[in-house]
């Protein structure tokens, strides 16, 4: 394209094209435009229906039901009761317990998986043989069925299972693990961490590979210890990965906590004594055991606000500006 052109010249060429073949050009342009519009709106028809009908309206519906007294078993009418469901939930000891448990699941579980993920990634970054093999081994739990693995852990950790057998052999008294209201939640958290180390490891490995070697060399010249290098170079440069991992890890954790708790807790519903009950498990019980849709909907709204707040909090706290 020429940058300096004669304006009169340009109008001349324009005129000549319009006089020479005006109909063809405009026709082509017009039909192409029409074709584009037809394409766009035809293709968007089903997605728009889907997002409206299966995502957006149901979300609004849940907000609405949360303000109603609606039990599928008792009555057809669902009177508007304002904040009653929310008040009832916050006076419900079991619900409060499930919130605290969920916070514990996230606080320990997400921190644990980030920590182990970074450690494994750093170790893999240090070695130069068998990296591929180790990566596969650490990643395998992530692709396997949570239900299957939960039952395997139940079997391993049974009263007369292999871990307790090992404990007895080395002189530690056998532990109740999943049968103990004090231990069960930690056992489940450990299983959840075990399953997600591989995922975090892959994210952190990619993050580590993006850190220029030069920065470590510069730190060496300045006489930095390995510990200083880790906190001053590695961690700040991995920051975007850490934020992403924490946010994704939290959302995943809240969802898989249901599968894991249902399949690992002794009674299949958050026991013993509700010690492993998570919010999602409690919502399931309210909705599909007691059929109290009003209470359950209100609880999901609280869960929604909880996740939203947590995500914003994580993004704010974890995203720090570093000066290089």
Question: What residues from 234 to 293 belong to the interface with other proteins (CB under 8 A)?
Answer: 241, 244, 248, 251, 254-255, 258-259, 262-263, 268, 280, 283-284, 287-288, 293
Told to check if 145 binds other proteins by CB under 8 A, we report yes
189 Cβ neighbours under 8 A, 6+ residues apart: 104, 105, 108, 109, 112
Preceding amide of 184 cis, omega within 30: no
The three-point CA angle 314-262-164 to 5° equals 100
CB of 151 to other proteins, least distance (A): 5
Instruction: Rule CB under 8 A: say whether 313 interacts with other proteins.
Output: no
Buried b (16+ CB within 10 A) or exposed e, 283-298: bbbbbeeeebbbbbbb
292 forms beta bridges with: 71
Decide if residue 212 touches other proteins (CB under 8 A). no
For residues 110 and 256, what is the distance between their CA atoms, to the nearest angstrom? 12
Query: Which of residues 25, 44, 94, 315 is near other proteins by CB under 8 A?
Result: 44
Q: Is 172 in the site for other proteins (CB under 8 A)?
A: no
Q: According to the binding rule CB under 8 A, does residue 106 interact with other proteins? A: no
Do 211 and 125 contact (CB within 8 A), yes or no?
A: no
Considering the complex, what minimum distance in angstroms separates the CB of residue 6 from other proteins? Answer: 27
Q: Provide, rounded to whole angstroms, the least separation between the CB of residue 211 and other proteins.
A: 13
- Is 45 a binding residue for other proteins by CB under 8 A? The answer is no
Contact region for other proteins (CB under 8 A) — 1-9, 84-92, 100-108, 157-165?
A: 157-165
Residue 55 C-beta: closest distance to other proteins, Å: 4
Among 216, 81, 197, smallest CA distance to 135 is for 197
Q: Considering the rule CB under 8 A, would residue 156 count as an interface residue with other proteins?
A: yes
Q: Positive or negative CA dihedral for 170, 171, 172, 175?
A: positive
Q: Which of residues 54-93 bind other proteins (CB under 8 A)?
A: 54-59, 61-62, 65
The whole-angstrom separation of Cα 112 and Cα 192 is 9
CA distance 103 to 245: 17
Q: How far is the CB of 8 from other proteins (least distance, A)?
A: 29
Angle ∠(251,203,305) on CA atoms, nearest 5? 15
Neighbour-count burial of 58, counting CB atoms closer than 10 A to its CB (0-12 exposed, 13-18 middle, 19+ buried): exposed
| Cβ at position 7, least distance to other proteins in Å | 26
Q: Is 160 in the site for other proteins (CB under 8 A)?
A: yes
Cα 38 to its chain centre, rounded Å, is 37
Q: Does 102 bind other proteins (CB under 8 A)?
A: no
Q: Which is nearer to other proteins, 180 or 259 (CB)?
A: 259
The 3-state DSSP class for residue 322 equals coil
Q: Please, what is the minimum distance in Å from the beta carbon of residue 174 to other proteins?
A: 13
We find the least distance from the C-beta atom of residue 231 to other proteins, in angstroms, to be: 19
Binding window for other proteins (CB under 8 A); candidates: 76-84, 85-93, 119-127, 177-185:
119-127
The residue count for binding other proteins (CB under 8 A) is 87
């Amino acid at each position: 394209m020429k940058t300096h052109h004669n304006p009169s010249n340009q109008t001349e060429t324009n005129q000549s094209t319009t006089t020479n073949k005006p109909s063809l050009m405009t026709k082509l342009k017009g039909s192409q435009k029409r074709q584009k519009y037809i394409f766009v709106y035809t293709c968007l028809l089903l997605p728009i229906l889907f997002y409206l009908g299966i995502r957006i309206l149901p979300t609004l519906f849940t907000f609405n039901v949360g303000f109603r007294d609606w039990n599928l078993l008792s009555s057809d009418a669902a009177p508007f009761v304002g904040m009653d469901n929310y008040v009832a939930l916050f006076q419900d000891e079991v619900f409060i317990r499930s919130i605290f448990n969920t916070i514990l699941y996230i606080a320990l579980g997400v921190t644990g998986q980030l920590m182990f993920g970074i450690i494994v990634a750093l170790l893999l970054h240090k070695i130069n043989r068998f990296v591929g093999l180790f990566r596969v081994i650490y990643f395998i739990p992530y692709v396997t069925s949570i239900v299957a693995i939960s039952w395997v852990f139940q079997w391993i950790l049974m009263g007369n299972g292999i871990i307790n057998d090992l404990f007895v052999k080395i002189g530690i008294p056998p532990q109740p693990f999943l049968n103990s209201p004090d231990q069960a939640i930690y056992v489940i958290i450990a299983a959840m961490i075990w399953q997600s180390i591989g995922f975090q490891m892959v994210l952190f490995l990619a993050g580590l590979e993006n850190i220029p070697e030069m920065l470590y060399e510069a730190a060496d010249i300045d006489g930095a210890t390995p510990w200083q290098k880790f906190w001053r170079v590695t961690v700040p440069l991995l920051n975007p990965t850490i934020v992403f991992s924490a946010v994704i890890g939290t959302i995943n954790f809240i969802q898989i906590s249901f599968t894991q708790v249902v399949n690992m807790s002794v009674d299949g519903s958050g026991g013993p004594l509700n010690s492993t009950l998570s919010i999602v498990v409690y919502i399931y019980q309210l909705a599909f055991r007691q059929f109290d849709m009003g209470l359950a909907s209100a609880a999901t709204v609280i869960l929604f606000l909880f996740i939203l707040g947590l995500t914003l909090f994580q993004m704010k706290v974890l995203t720090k500006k570093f000066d290089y």
